[in-house]
Amino acid sequence: MIVIVCPGQGSQKPGFLSPWLESADARAKLAELSDAAGLDLAKHGTESDAETIKDTAVAQPLIVAAGVLALDALEQAEVVSRSGGIAGHSVGEITAAAGAGVLSHHDAMAFVSERATAMAEAAAAVPTGMSAVLGGDPLDVVSAAERLGLQAANYNGGGQIVVAGELPALARLADEPPAKARVMPLKVAGAFHTRYMRPAQEFLAARADAFEAADPKLRLWTNNDGSVVDNGERFRDLLVAQVASPVRWDLCMEAFVAAGVTGVIEVAPAGALIGLARRGLKGVPTLAVNTPDDIESAVEMINAA
């Protein structure tokens, strides 16, 4: 069983959309997605520098748009429909919702644009950030973070937990890391998936009904607890809740194993989730779909499954 996964914020790089836009169909599709998001995604995906695309209000729509382009290509190659399911990490859950048919492409882009703006505004209220804690005992890591007023924001599996909160506390954690762990600051604008994002969560909750949700046409896992969600409206509500609650990617990977995963395909901008899979799903083949040239390899993987 092949699982398709969709990455979250921080996976984007300058110029990463250029290979996709060699196709006239992809350029036309991206123009539609740009209109829905209210951003020039072609420019941001080909010309904008790293600092520009790090901006939450740009990064999140750009990542979802890239994933939608890749999923379109995989669907045309009959990879998506033959897969065993789909999941996304953080904002990648919106990509997954589009791939599973829960949200239309237009609504996925409109939703992520509102999410990104609301989260950027929440992040601007208090100087906060996030750090990856690599290694150490998970209970010790969470305990050490909480003693400093930090929260575990991403349980990524494979020995990685991302903690978030105010910058002085993150600096102290880096100076005094938990036993057998090291702390790596992340280049993000705020403490996503924590209490600091509650204003954004409340804003999206008030807007959720504007986005029509259909039941998924593919098996769809949630970051909430790694379970499969078969009701579109519930998944949309979980998209709202996850803005201020932890990402449980560790539980998603455990669910993949329980479902009999035999391969993982990550859509553009791919790399981060494959890295986690190599540590958390040891021995399971992985494939990054970062350019249209990778589609053939995805077909070969699905044919061999």
The catalytic residues are 90, 193
Region of 126 (left: φ > 0; alpha: ψ -120 to 50; beta: rest) is beta
Residue in this structure with the two tokens 């520009």, named with its chain if needed:
52
Query: Which residue in 252, 244, 193 sits closest to 221, CA to CA?
Result: 252
**Where does residue 164 rank: exposed (0-12), middle (13-18), buried (19+ CB within 10 A)?**
buried
- ∠ at Cα 180 (178, 184), nearest 5°? 65
DSSP assigned state of 54: H
Residue in this structure with the two tokens 């080909």, named with its chain if needed:
46
Query: Which residue in 64, 72, 74, 61 sits closest to 3, CA to CA?
Result: 74
Helix, strand, coil in percent for the chain, rounding step 5: 50, 15, 30
For residue 76, give Cα distances in angstroms to 27, 81, 98, 271. 16, 9, 15, 22
Query: Which residue in 248, 225, 224, 269 sits closest to 162, CA to CA?
Result: 248
For residue 74, give Cα distances in angstroms to 119, 239, 253, 267, 268. 30, 24, 22, 9, 11
Distance CA 96, CA 98 (A): 5
Cβ atoms < 10 Å from Cβ of 187: 11
Q: Maximum Cα–Cα distance for the chain, whole Å?
A: 54
